[in-house]
Amino acid sequence: MFESIDFTLIDWSRAQFALTAIYHWLFVPLTLGLSFIIAIMESLYVKTGNEEWKRITRFWMTLFGINFAIGVATGIILEFEFGTNWSNYSWFVGDIFGAPLAIEGILAFFLESTFVAVMFFGWNKVSKKFHLISTWLVAIGANLSALWILVANAWMQNPVGMVFNPDTARNEMVSFWDVLFNEVAVSKFLHTISSGFLLASMFVLGISAWYLLQNREHILAKRSILIAGIFGLLSSLLVAYTGDNSARTLSEAQPVKFAAFEALYEGKQNAGLVAIGILKRSDLKIGEKEVNDFAFRIEIPGFLSVMTKGDKNAFVPGIYDLVNGDASKGILSVTEKIERGKKARDLLIEFKAAKKNNDTQKAEGISGMFRDKKFIDNYFRYFGYAFLEKPEDVIPGVKTSFYSFHIMVMLGFYFILVFVMALYFLYSGTLLKKRWFLWIALWSILLPYVAGELGWVLAEMGRQPWIIQDLMPVSAAVSNISSGSVMTTFALFAILFTVLLIAEISIMIRQIKLGPKH
Amino acid sequence: MNQVSYAISRLFRFYYDGFRSMSWWGRRVWVIILIKLFVIFLIMKLFFFQGFLSERYSTDEQKSEYVLDQLINSK
């Protein structure tokens, strides 16, 4: 079956999903963060009764509304793609993916749709307090919507809380709480929403800086910079903290990805974290895959060991260790995992034959084995390895993982610096004179978008070849459809999203130029 | 009953007035939303994204069998 699927189809299906996810993520983070900034500003209005705060709130609410409206429903396309381009995957994940997405849909519809209307239509029609509660509920609702999407994504990175039912060929949820509190989900949710807060803060800071450069809207700009500076600084510190947590959970759940984003080939104790590095080709290979070496690097000694296990003497496995295995460290080789995966698959073949021969007893016995913890831990958890041809297939793009991770982290530190400087210049009363900083703040609006997209590139490309970690590679997930139809819809999406993005930017620029009075 | 119809009428007026007094940008984004929903649900969903399994198989049993075949017939 899989022999008939050409890699053009897989590549185009992946490219299409990447395109829609990347575009979708251009709209989402601003909604996540700006909703809270608006809620904070409106709280100050309600508390102080100062009309200036109301004017400021309404101005940022306008930009929030434009972004919200343009971005809404762009995520639906991803769900279409699951059903059409990734049907094997969609069926295999069963209700585990469906349940969080259904909750997200209900939450998004009822919480956001209802209270967004009050936010925009309710000024002077409902009480100040009710309006404020609505604004906070929109912020909380938007972020809770993100929670469910991220829970679903985290399950793909670290599948837990389910058993596979060979009778239906689906995974079935056995513990909702295991899925919800999956450690990857918790760190992913906190890291992602805090990056959204950071992005929105930089957006507010940058546009406020533009007003100061234009020598207009001083009160709005300074007050907005105060809120964005504090919220942004706290968010960027939270991003750093949750990023550290994320790395720790990844080192357990996705060790090859973790080794790839540090370009760590040989595992070691007292492993250093690469602060800055440039990769080059080496003459070495793992199977058919080339090995990268460092042309240059600055390393923080022992920090990688501390980051993963809290102990500088802890061993951090490298790509060689994870591919070849190391019995002394309890690491199975990929060859062994392939064998175990094949045993699980062979059992599935036996199950099918038993059903065909109406051998109910045997079929039920095999079905029971797929619910047995010992079998799951030793065999079924490596099910996806049965699809691999070579051990080195488990290695993702090391260069892509390494650079996306390191550029993202460097940008993270840059954001902390920008927010500290903004608050310092504001506090010292020198902000208006620091035109160079105002220009930096303005152009920095783009950088959190870059960092956020790099984060997703790392998360999704760094876990290749898996669509579900260790259980299903992308090659087994894709539908056997014509690559021509995927190419056509790729082009349609590219046009649709580009038009939406141009529309958003042009309407926003118009409103920003008009300013808060309008 | 009167209270219910009064509440519905107030709710209706709330949305009606809101849409009527909408600003330039509000009207513009609503046009974009409607075009977007039309393209997504009526063009893409109808012509390009009907669901691979649903299009080919009518029962869950058939779908399960197909996916099971896919899972076990790998190299």
> Each residue of A123-173: pLDDT tens digit?
888 999 999 999 999 999 889 888 888 998 999 999 999 999 999 999 998
Q: Which of B18, B36, B48 sits opposite A120 (nearest CB)?
A: B18
Gyration radius from chain A CA atoms: 25
Place of tokens 């100040």: A128
* Cis, bond preceding A473 (omega within 30 deg of 0): no
| Cβ atoms of residues A493 and B45 within 8 Å | no
Interface of B with A in 16-75 (CB under 8 A): 17-19, 23, 25-26, 28-30, 32-33, 36-37, 39-40, 44-45, 48-54, 60, 63-65, 67-75
A505 CB near a chain B CB, below 8 Å?
no
Higher per-residue pLDDT: A106 or A154: A154
Q: Provide the terminal-to-terminal Cα distance of chain B, rounded to the nearest Å.
A: 68
Task: Say if residue A107's pLDDT is above 80.
Answer: no
Question: How many residues are recorded in chain A?
Answer: 518
Residues of A in contact with B7 (CB under 8 A): none
Helices H, strands E: what count in chain B?
4, 0
Least CB-CB distance to A352: which of B32, B44, B72?
B72
Of residues B4 and A136, more confidently modeled: A136
Contact A161, A182 (CB under 8 A): yes
- The continuous run of DSSP H or E covering A286 comes out as strand A273-286
Taking residues A445-461, report their average pLDDT: 95
Residue A204: which residues within 8 A CB-CB, separation 6 or more?
A: A34, A37, A60, A224, A225, A227, A228, A232
pTM for this predicted structure: 0.90
Q: CA-CA-CA-CA torsion for A264, A270, A272, A273, nearest 10 degrees?
A: 90
Residue A101 has pLDDT above 80, yes or no: no
Residue contact B67–A169, C-beta within 8 A: yes
Alpha-carbon distance of A392 to B17, in angstroms, equals: 63
- Nearest-by-CA chain B residue for A503: B32
Q: Is A481 on the interface with B (CB under 8 A)?
A: yes
